[in-house]
Structure 1
Amino acid sequence: MTEIKAKEFAIRVHGEQQYGARPYSFHLESVVQVAKELNLENDIILGCWLHDTIEDCDVSYQDIKREFGRDLAEIVFAVTDELGRNRKERKVKTYPKIKANEKALSVKLCDRIANLNQTISDEKFDLLSMYFKEQQEFKEKLYSPEHNVNTIKLWGILDDLVEKARNIKATNNL
């Protein structure tokens, strides 16, 4: 599979969706950049482009499978939030899928890193607080010291960002 195909597909299906005041492609490119900075494998980069397609677009698991194959469909499905009454319930129901697929976990970590970086950069303190509050459970449910070296590097980057968020929170009395 080519990255160009995944990028074009994702941008097309996200259509006019926005990431804050920016086109959604801004978010997708940010997530992909995290993966590329660590030279992560192609399936993870493609998963970064496609990670929100099932959750946020009129795209099914079968659509991803048909276009990109079963392995990539499994990655995208794993990071797709399950249904729930609220964010916390959706996340708790989704964590087991992510934990069962280390490539999906890498995609989710790239997504979380990109979101947290942007939240810090944009000084969106309400979102920063949300990510900060979720971090303990996120790590408890998904971290394993047996992850591969690149996944451990992603956890380290995320831990550094969370510490930065903690300092911002303290400085701004959030």
Structure 2
Amino acid sequence: MKIDKRAADMEKHALRFATTAHGAQLRKYDGQPYIVHPVAVAEIVRSVPHTPEMIAAALLHDTVEDTDVTLLDIKESFGATVATLVAWLTDVSTPFHGNRAARKALDRAHTALAPPAAKTIKLADLIDNSRSIGSADPHFWTVYREEKRLLLPLLMEGDATLWAMASELVA
């Protein structure tokens, strides 16, 4: 089996970049280093048909939202394809846009327009977050699950296996 050196290098670079960007951040629900989540998302994406850019974007998917990293930083380090995927995976709402329900509606409208590759990564993110939140925070799980039930119909262009898995998790 031939290993694609470019893909392996991109993945290693994305992992280092995301690890540095997230620094000492911890996961809210289990206290683990934050990087555990992007790695889990990348592994879920790896389980279905994917590209090297999708794996890199999975590793980087929260960097713009949760760190000082910009989309320009992503583009300069990983190219336009990865930056575009990360842009589709980054919430567009801000506190200025209203309460949580209003912000999530705006983010869903953004996600609805995303390409299938971004929707596949979003499904992997939803799967990993559902597993963590569902077991660690039953109160918030009810809110999160309802938000994801509203999101799922918009992700049908993503990978069918991941869509079925996500659908089962939020059922």
Asked if TM exceeds 0.5, the reply is yes
Task: Give the corresponding residue for 1:26.
Answer: 36
Deviation at 1:78, TM superposition (A): 1.1
* 2:119 matched residue in structure 1: 105
**How many residue pairs align between the two structures?**
157
Q: Give the fraction of aligned pairs with identical amino acids, expressed as a percent.
A: 30
Structure 1: gaps spanning 5 or more residues: 164-174
Q: Residues 123 and 162 of structure 2 are in contact (CA less than 8 Å); yes or no, is this contact kept in structure 1? A: yes
Q: Which residue pairs with 2:109 in the alignment?
A: 96
2:130 paired residue among 94, 116, 141: 116
Distance 2:139 2:41 in 1: 21
Poorly superposed stretches of 4+, deviation over 4 Å: none
Q: In angstroms, what is the RMSD of aligned CA positions?
A: 1.7
For residue 155 of structure 1, what is the amino acid of its counterpart?
Answer: W
| Residue 3 (structure 2) aligns with | none
Q: Distance in 1 between matches of 2:64 and 2:91?
A: 9
Is the CA contact (8 Å cut-off) linking 2:130 and 2:145 kept in structure 1?
no
1:26-51, Cα deviation, whole Å (9 max, x unpaired) = 11121112112224222221111000
The superposition leaves residues 42-94 of structure 1 with CA deviations (integer Å, 9 ceiling, x where unpaired) of 22211110000111110111111111111111111111111232332222222
Residue 43 of structure 1 is matched in structure 2 by 53
The answer on whether the counterparts of 2:25 and 2:34 sit within 8 Å (CA) in structure 1 is yes
SS in 2 for 1:126: helix
**Match for residue 159 of structure 1 among 158, 163, 167:** 167
Report the counterpart of residue 52 of structure 1 in structure 2: 62
55, 68, 93: which one pairs with 2:78? 68
- Determine the structure 2 residue equivalent to 1:168: none
SS of the residue aligned with 2:50?
A: coil
The superposition leaves residues 86-131 of structure 1 with CA deviations (integer Å, 9 ceiling, x where unpaired) of 3322222222332332211111111110001122343x20232122
